[in-house]
Amino acid sequence: MCVSPLYAPKEEVLRKHSGHLISRIFLGLVVFVIAALIIADSHEQEENTIDATEDGTSEVEEDTLTEDGAAAEEVVIDPVSKEAGALLAIKCNACHGNEGNTTIPLNGNLAGQNVRYLHKQLVLMKSGERHVQSMVIPLEDVDDDGLQALAMYYSSLPGLVGQANPETDLELGEAIYRGGILDKEVAACTACHGPFGNGNFLAGFPRVSGQTVPYLIEQLRAYREGERTTV
C-alpha cells in the first residue's frame, strides 16, 4: 500500500518533537495531511476499480470481435454455404447480375463486397430498416442461414476494378476521400473505407471501390438527405 511508506517517516519525525508545542501543531497538521492522503488514496482506488471494469469490458468486446472476425473468415471459404448461396441467388440475378456485377447501375454490385457488411445489409433490408421496395419479395422466405449464405456467396465472387472517367473532377473526389472536408467536419473516407476503397474486413466497413458510380451517388445522396440512416 502506498499509505505506509508515507506514514512511516512522518511518525518518526513526530516522535522526536513530541514534547514541544510547535511539534503538537505540526503533529496536528501532519495527521490532517495523512488523513487527507488516506481519503484521496481511497478515492483513487475507487477510480481504479472503475477503470479496471471498463478495461475488462473493452477486452471482452475485443475478444468477441476477434472471434467474429475469425468466424467470418472461415465462413467465406465454406463451400457448402457458398453453394447454398448460389442457389438462393438465382432470384437476385435479374437485378444484381449472374456474377454479382449488375447491368443496372442503380442496383449496385455485390461481388467481392465485405461478407459482414452484406449480411448486415440483408438483415436490415429484410427487417425493413433499410427499405428497398424491390427486395421485399426476394427476401421474404430467406431465413438467417440463407442471408448468411447469400452474403458469403456474393463476397466470394471476384469484384470489379472500377475505371474512372477522366472527364470528371477526380482531384476533388480524391482530395475529399483522402482528407475529408475540414470546414464541414467531414471525416476522411480513407479512415474507414481504406486507402484503396477496399473497406475494412473485420469492422465490416463496405468496399466502395469497383462499385457503380450511379449507385454510389444515390447512396451518398440518401445519407445526406437522411433517407438512409443505417451506420
Binding site for ligand HEC (CB under 6 A): 91-92, 94-96, 106-108, 110, 113, 118, 120-122, 132, 134-135, 138-139, 150, 176, 186-187, 189, 191-193, 205-206, 208, 216, 218-220, 230-231
Of residues 154, 141, 130, the one with CA closest to residue 218? 130
Q: Residues 186, 153: contact at Cβ < 8 Å?
A: no
Question: Minimum distance between the CB of residue 207 and ligand HEC, rounded to whole angstroms?
Answer: 8
Nearer to ligand HEC, 82 or 193 (CB): 193
Question: Minimum distance between the CB of residue 205 and ligand HEC, rounded to whole angstroms?
Answer: 5
Question: Minimum distance between the CB of residue 158 and ligand HEC, rounded to whole angstroms?
Answer: 16
Instruction: Return the amino acid letter for 147.
Output: L
Of residues 32, 128, 118, the one with CA closest to residue 81? 118
Nearer to ligand HEC, 12 or 185 (CB): 185
Nearer to ligand HEC, 31 or 187 (CB): 187
Question: Minimum distance between the CB of residue 36 and ligand HEC, rounded to whole angstroms?
Answer: 45
Nearer to ligand HEC, 42 or 64 (CB): 64
Nearer to ligand HEC, 3 or 94 (CB): 94
Nearer to ligand HEC, 27 or 176 (CB): 176
- Residue 171 φ/ψ, nearest 5 degrees: -60, -45
Q: Contacts for 146-150 with beta carbons within 8 Å, 24 or more apart? A: 146/84, 146/85, 146/88, 147/119, 147/122, 147/123, 148/75, 148/81, 148/119, 149/81, 149/82, 149/84, 149/85, 149/88, 150/85, 150/88, 150/89, 150/92, 150/118, 150/122
Contacts of 119 (CB under 8 A, 6+ apart): 147, 148, 151
